[in-house]
Amino acid sequence: MPRNKAAVSIRDVAAAAGVSVATVSRVLSPASADIVVREETRDRVVRAINELGYRPNDLARALLQQRTSTIGLVLPDISNPYYPPLVRGVEDAASQLGYRVVLCNTDRDPAKTAAYLDTLVKARVDGVIVAGGNLSELPGHPRVFETYRTKLVMVGRHGLAHPSVRVDNTAATEDATAHLIGLGHRGIAFLGGPEGSSTAQDRLLGHRRAMAAAALPTAERVAGFDEHGGYDAARSLLTGTPPTALLCANDRMAFGAYAALADAGLAVPADVSVVGFDDVPMASYVRPTLTTVAVPTYELGRAAMRLLQDALDGSAATEPVLLPTRLVHRASCARLA
């Protein structure tokens, strides 16, 4: 009867090859390369490994070496098209540095986030990158990282003593609002994201600053960071006199707003101008194409991985790394007649 490969141990390999466990370890461990193992002995060990289907215990090896060459990447919503380029940026940089990436999707659920962080830390991953979400809401987190060797890097603004990479969401939204004001719009409404999101808060702050500087009142709605949230928020603004422009906290909300405006018989941009945020790929394929703030998501991912490597090397950044945004002008905005 064939042996259960999952149960094969290093002792089984040693017995099959007729050598000691220490000799098998020397064959398997690169750190033992300076210890000479005769070629004939090495060949017997390799044959035994292949015949038995032995797989080394990565966790045990990691505990000995005090590293796993694995990192965790924690995201709030992998279905959001904002995140795949960021994931790719992290993965590309991690692969070049010799790390594997474990992806965790939290659905913005604090309990799920806490459970993932506990799992990653207990698995002794070398580091964790958290993109989005608010760790300060989690009891005991991220203090758990102070107990272990695992390093933490954040993507986005946070009030924690850990390295981070981000964009200036406040300044970018202030510029986007100023663009609409410059087109003659005075009735500008803001469709904001969840109240617990620092990104949503920063983008709302930028809008308020621009409107206050122009002495203009603002209408605001809070909704989910998705098409459904954008649709409902936009519809709630159309019960009376509609705004002449909508500034949306992300592109998915803008796509939902497009649908709400169409259902109300309003055209973009003839009746209402629309600006999004993030510049996801679909922004250039919807009609009219969406004016939006472009965020360098791929570069954010690569920068986060570089910061994590620096932290692992003992040279963590003390100041946040800021990457630039830009307003992409497309067809969804028009000058107010």
Burial of residue 27 (CB within 10 Å: 0-12, 13-18, 19+) is buried
Helix or strand holding residue 128 (H, E): strand 127-131
Both tokens assigned to 49: 């490994």
Q: Are 207 and 177 in contact (CB under 8 A)?
A: yes
Both tokens assigned to 54: 């032995």
Q: For residues 28 and 60, which has the higher predicted lDDT (pLDDT)?
A: 28
Q: Mean pLDDT, to the nearest integer, of 26-40?
A: 68
Q: Mean pLDDT highest for which of 106-120, 160-174, 293-307?
A: 293-307
CA distance 168 to 177: 14
- What is the DSSP secondary structure assignment for residue 186, as one 8-state letter? -
Question: Given pLDDT bands bounded at 50, 70 and 90, which one contains residue 23?
Answer: confident
Question: Given pLDDT bands bounded at 50, 70 and 90, which one contains residue 55?
Answer: confident
Q: Mean pLDDT, to the nearest integer, of 103-116?
A: 89
Write out pLDDT tens, residues 224-269. Answer: 999 999 999 999 999 888 999 999 999 999 999 999 999 999 999 9
Token pair 């500008």 is at which residue? 188
Q: Are 326 and 294 in contact (CB under 8 A)?
A: yes
Question: Given pLDDT bands bounded at 50, 70 and 90, which one contains residue 143?
Answer: low
Burial of residue 110 (CB within 10 Å: 0-12, 13-18, 19+) is middle
Give the per-residue pLDDT at 146. Answer: 59
Q: Is the pLDDT of residue 140 over 60?
A: no
Give the per-residue pLDDT at 22. Answer: 83
In CATH terms, the superfamily for domain 5-56 is lambda repressor-like DNA-binding domains (1.10.260.40)
C-alpha distance across the termini of the chain, in Å:
84
Token pair 């045990």 is at which residue? 60
Burial of residue 167 (CB within 10 Å: 0-12, 13-18, 19+) is buried
Pairing of strands 273-278, 245-248: parallel
In CATH terms, the superfamily for domain 69-167+297-323 is Response regulator (3.40.50.2300)
Q: Are 206 and 174 in contact (CB under 8 A)?
A: yes
Which range is least confidently modeled, 2-11, 44-53, 146-155, 295-304?
2-11
Give the per-residue pLDDT at 64. Answer: 47
Task: Locate the domains of the chain by residue range.
Answer: 5-56, 69-167+297-323, 169-295
Give the per-residue pLDDT at 2. Answer: 45
Considering the domain 169-295, what is its CATH architecture?
A: 3-Layer(aba) Sandwich (3.40)
Tell me whether domains 69-167+297-323 and 169-295 share a fold: yes
Q: Is the pLDDT of residue 108 over 90?
A: no
Give residue 249's Cα distance to chain centre. Answer: 17
**pTM here?**
0.80
Give the per-residue pLDDT at 1. Answer: 38
Q: Is the pLDDT of residue 324 over 90?
A: yes
Give the per-residue pLDDT at 302. Answer: 97
Write out pLDDT tens, residues 276-323. Answer: 999 999 999 999 999 999 999 999 999 999 999 999 988 877 788 999
Q: For residues 249 and 66, which has the higher predicted lDDT (pLDDT)?
A: 249
